[in-house]
Structure 1
Amino acid sequence: MTSLHQLQVFNTMHASPHARLEHSAQLGDGLAAALWRNRDDARDYQAPSHHTLSCYIDDGTGTFRRQRPADKGGPDKLCIMPAGHESNWVVNGAIRLAHLYISEEQFALGCVRLLDREPREMQLTEATFIDDAQQARRFRQLIGLDWNEPGERLLASSLAHAIVDHAVLSQAGLRQGLRLKGGLAPHQRRQLGEYIEAHLDQALTLGELAERCNLSEYHFARMFRASFGLPPHQYVLARRLYRACQLLRLGGLPLGEVALACGFASASHFSNRFRQALGATPGEYRAAFAH
């Protein structure tokens, strides 16, 4: 994932002389989190390339959006700032808030997996100061973990995924007036997704997947990305790692068997890919969820 200092919302907060960063971490899978304090400030976020979910932890009753001065924040209030949107904030008094930064690729995976929709059909709906007790509870659990400790960072990643899944299911809506071009037909996308899930333990080639749609590899790759939000190899890798996480949390299979069940050529290849994506080895991931 992009480094924290390349995330526009994080960078805008970090540039403020009034804001103080308490804690931040990359959580893997296109997710990152930060815990902030701020006081008597004004911040503008202009068309970030990532989504941001925020939860007010303490104070915030003097915080409002410049265009809506009558609406004020407060503890456990949640805000959704989608990629590409602009928002302008005024902070009167103190605030302590948590941010969860989400890559567009991770949002795309959620659209396909949870909604059976093409990601380009969907948008995360902007929202300010909403009440959602379940999400606020997850955020408070998230900031209660030590993100510098590998095991707790993995638990934080799991919580972050739950927050994102909840947002996709409750706050994603169809883009209005959109006419899609160049992607796979819905039945092709669905059948292809099912085929990939059923064959994650096998070698899947671009040519094999393209043939299932009667397309050349070149056109298939373009249409796949349009419909799934990621190139074919990245999507398949993401699904293999997701399956691996499920198997590791169950705790039964040896790591070598988990690797084979998820289509990795060897335990070392599996371990390298897993560490790159989640910042921990499969063994460390399993240990984090063993208690």
Structure 2
Amino acid sequence: MQPVKSGVGDPMELHTLRAFDPHVASMAPLLLSALAAGASVNYLISAARYLAMHLVHPQSDVTQRRGGLTPEQLRTVTAYMNEHMNSDITLARLAEIVMLSRYHFIRQFSAATGKTSLRYLTELRIQAARQLLASDGNEPVSQVGRRCGFPNPANFARVFRKNVGCSPSQYRQRAA
């Protein structure tokens, strides 16, 4: 069996990423949350293999995208999303931060991340909610939703269920 050409000379060089990778940035916390929530060993091994293959093969679809936000613009926008997660974040404000029109921002963000800014923000909010639900059993679920940018408890429950596969309360019980 022939070894796979990875584009990496020495595996020890993989201790840091050469550039921001939104795929890794979004997947790594989810993998850690799955571990904390008691995911099966098979799931964790599969996810870890997938992530390892993505890291070893720099020709992935994420790194080959043309155009898109610069790494600095992407860091600026995602940092803003993280810092203002519980606020009403508008497309106009995100575009303003990186000095683009809304139209260009939509295209550039999608080209850089492979998803819309709304989808990206929703995933950030759900990830934050999962961490809060798993760590603090005393805070009401509706308050967790508000802290993560979901002012309406019914909307929070609907979006959480759609993304995670269970209600926030069920997730908290499983994580306990």
Same-fold call, TM cutoff 0.5: yes
SS at 1:184's partner residue?
A: coil
- Answer whether contact 1:182 1:226 (CA < 8 A) is retained: yes
User: Residue 59 of structure 2 corresponds to which residue in structure 1?
Assistant: 175
SS at 1:191's partner residue?
A: helix
Are 1:278 and 2:161 an aligned pair?
no
Q: In structure 2, do the counterparts of structure 1 residues 236 and 226 end up closer, same or farther at CA, with 3 Å as the change threshold?
A: same
What is the rounded CA distance, in whole Å, between the counterparts of 1:161 and 1:261 in structure 2? 29
What is the rounded CA distance, in whole Å, between the counterparts of 2:74 and 2:120 in structure 1? 12
Query: What does 1:1-291 align with in structure 2 at a 5 Å threshold?
Result: 110-113=23-26, 155-156=38-39, 160=43, 163-164=46-47, 167-169=50-52, 171-172=54-55, 173-175=57-59, 181-251=66-136, 252-290=138-176
What is the rounded CA distance, in whole Å, between the counterparts of 1:170 and 1:179 in structure 2? 15
What is the rounded CA distance, in whole Å, between the counterparts of 1:222 and 1:170 in structure 2? 27
What is the rounded CA distance, in whole Å, between the counterparts of 2:120 and 2:46 in structure 1? 21
What is the rounded CA distance, in whole Å, between the counterparts of 1:202 and 1:230 in structure 2? 21
- Count of aligned positions: 148
**Quick check: which one's helix share is greater?**
2
Q: In structure 2, do the counterparts of structure 1 residues 229 and 193 end up closer, same or farther at CA, with 3 Å as the change threshold?
A: same
- Answer whether contact 2:68 2:109 (CA < 8 A) is retained: yes
What is the rounded CA distance, in whole Å, between the counterparts of 2:79 and 2:134 in structure 1? 23
What is the rounded CA distance, in whole Å, between the counterparts of 2:41 and 2:130 in structure 1? 10
What is the rounded CA distance, in whole Å, between the counterparts of 1:239 and 1:255 in structure 2? 17
Unaligned runs of 5+ in 2: 3-20, 29-34
User: Residue 13 of structure 2 corresponds to which residue in structure 1?
Assistant: none
CA displacement at 1:109 relative to structure 2: 5.3
What is the rounded CA distance, in whole Å, between the counterparts of 1:270 and 1:158 in structure 2? 29
Q: What's the TM-score once normalised by structure 1's chain length? A: 0.45
- Answer whether contact 1:183 1:226 (CA < 8 A) is retained: yes
Q: What whole-Å deviation, never above 9, does each CA across 1:117-144 have from its counterpart, x for those lacking one? A: xxxxxxxxxxxxxxxxxxxxxxxxx9xx
CA displacement at 1:165 relative to structure 2: 5.1
Q: In structure 2, do the counterparts of structure 1 residues 166 and 223 end up closer, same or farther at CA, with 3 Å as the change threshold?
A: same
CA displacement at 1:168 relative to structure 2: 1.9
CA displacement at 1:166 relative to structure 2: 6.2
- Answer whether contact 2:65 2:112 (CA < 8 A) is retained: no
What is the rounded CA distance, in whole Å, between the counterparts of 1:170 and 1:220 in structure 2? 30
CA displacement at 1:170 relative to structure 2: 6.3
What is the rounded CA distance, in whole Å, between the counterparts of 1:157 and 1:204 in structure 2? 35
What is the rounded CA distance, in whole Å, between the counterparts of 1:248 and 1:162 in structure 2? 24
- Answer whether contact 1:259 1:267 (CA < 8 A) is retained: yes
- Amino acid in the other structure paired with 1:164: A
**Rg bigger for which structure?**
1
SS at 1:183's partner residue?
A: coil
**Quick check: which one's strand share is greater?**
1
CA displacement at 1:171 relative to structure 2: 4.7
Q: In structure 2, do the counterparts of structure 1 residues 165 and 221 end up closer, same or farther at CA, with 3 Å as the change threshold?
A: farther
Q: In structure 2, do the counterparts of structure 1 residues 213 and 158 end up closer, same or farther at CA, with 3 Å as the change threshold?
A: farther
User: Residue 119 of structure 1 corresponds to which residue in structure 2?
Assistant: none
What is the rounded CA distance, in whole Å, between the counterparts of 1:207 and 1:218 in structure 2? 10
